[in-house]
Amino acid sequence: MNKRSRLPGLALSLIFGVFAAAMLFPIGLTLVSSLMGEAEIGRNYDLIGKMADSASGGKEAFINMKLLPDWLTFEQYAQVLILSPKFLSMFWNSAGLVAPIVAGQIFVDSLAAYAFAKLRFPGRDKLFFVYLMTMLMPFQVTLVPNYLVIDRLGLMNHSSAIILPGIFGAFGVFMMRQFMAHIPYALTEAAKIDGAGQWTIFGRIVLPLAKPGLAALAVLLFVDYWNMIEQPLIFLQDAAKQPLSLYLAQINQSERGIGFAASTLYMAPMLLLFLYAESYFVAGIQHSGIKG
């Protein structure tokens, strides 16, 4: 391969590298800022004070985005994790909400996707189309009906008000149906000839082959519900039951160091999960995106 033929690939890699660096820069800046003292953060990010100084003839107003702290400190992390129990309390609230939602939705979505992908019954495609129409409706559209149903069931201010609706989602069914549609019918038909029932085919053939799709779905669901805002704000009035996604909004202006430390800890589970399931995630997205 000559140098001229490699130029487009190198240029494309350079472009993607620049975009990747741009996406990672806020995460790195948050991590670095979380290791600064409150005074140093104030000097670097107090834009309002710098604008006032600029207006009075002082220094120019700009934010000093430093890549290394002057003094390394873990004071903010000690404050968040040890001295203040609120962060850990809301962290476990989030875990208690997200874990059953992800597990329940994977179970329900995999069963529904198997039915739409491998079972032949009248009106299957029409029913799947109607099912997918719910993907067009955001949470805000169904807010009032959900509120009325949850209120009638007496689930207000209870974790079930978020977990039960969260278990059922059209996106996961669509994604897993696309993935399972590419599992050859020859495998399932051969199992039927050997006397296997639908539960055996689903549990021993289809589900093991769908592991990359399930891993990708688990990552996407975790990120989505780990960052949920509207549901806990509306259905969980008790602050002691609210998840970690609402913690950052409650940090005061004078606690910017705690805000950076809490943001870093808040991002950590999502980053670790993605790094752990990266290969499965990529494979699952690739297969589920192919038209059946």
| Final residue in a domain of this structure, among 72, 96, 112 | 72
What's the pLDDT at 90? 92
Cα-to-chain-centroid distance, residue 29: 21
Tell me the pTM. Answer: 0.81
Q: pLDDT per residue over 89-135, tens digit each?
A: 999 999 999 999 999 999 999 999 999 988 888 888 888 888 888 88
The pLDDT value given to residue 255: 78
| Domain finish residue from 21, 52, 72 | 72
Are 65 and 104 in a shared domain?
no
Share of the chain above pLDDT 90, in %: 19
Tokens 């870093």 appear where?
264
Same domain, 49 and 96: no
pLDDT of residue 258: 86
Do 196 and 283 share a domain, yes or no? yes
Q: What is the DSSP string of 9-63?
A: HHHHHHHHHHHHHHHHHHHHHHHHHHTS-HHHHHHHH-HHHHHHHHHTTSS----
- 133 and 229, same domain (yes or no): yes
Does one domain contain both 131 and 261? yes
C-alpha angle 57-33-47 in degrees, rounded to nearest 5: 20
> 51 pLDDT exceeds 70?
no
pLDDT tens, position by position, 209-240: 888 889 889 999 999 999 998 889 889 988 88
Q: 157 and 93: one domain?
A: yes
Q: What is the mean pLDDT of the chain?
A: 82
Question: 158 and 44 share a domain?
Answer: no
Residue 237: which CATH number?
A: 1.10.3720.10
Claim to verify: residue 8 and residue 86 sit in the same structural domain? no
Per-residue pLDDT, 111: 93
Do residues 274 and 117 lie in contact, with contact meaning Cβ atoms separated by under 8 Å? Answer: no
pLDDT at 253: 66
Count of the separate structural domains present in the chain: 2
Residue 66: predicted pLDDT: 67
Q: What amino acid is encoded at 17 in this protein? A: G
Q: Evaluate if residue 194 carries a pLDDT over 70.
A: yes
Q: State residue 288's pLDDT score.
A: 55
On whether both 130 and 210 belong to a single domain, the answer is yes
Structure tokens at 201: 């085919």
- Give the model's pLDDT for residue 292: 39
Q: What confidence score (pLDDT) does residue 103 get? A: 95
**pLDDT tier at 64 (50, 70, 90 boundaries)?**
low
102 shares its domain with 182: yes
Residues 157 and 68 in one domain: no
Average pLDDT over residues 195-218: 88
* Most confidently modeled range among 11-20, 51-60, 69-78, 157-166: 157-166
- The whole domain housing 59 covers 3-72
Classified as helix, coil or strand, 156 is coil
Domain boundary among 72, 92, 110: 72
Q: Based on the fold, state whether residues 83 and 210 are members of the same structural domain.
A: yes
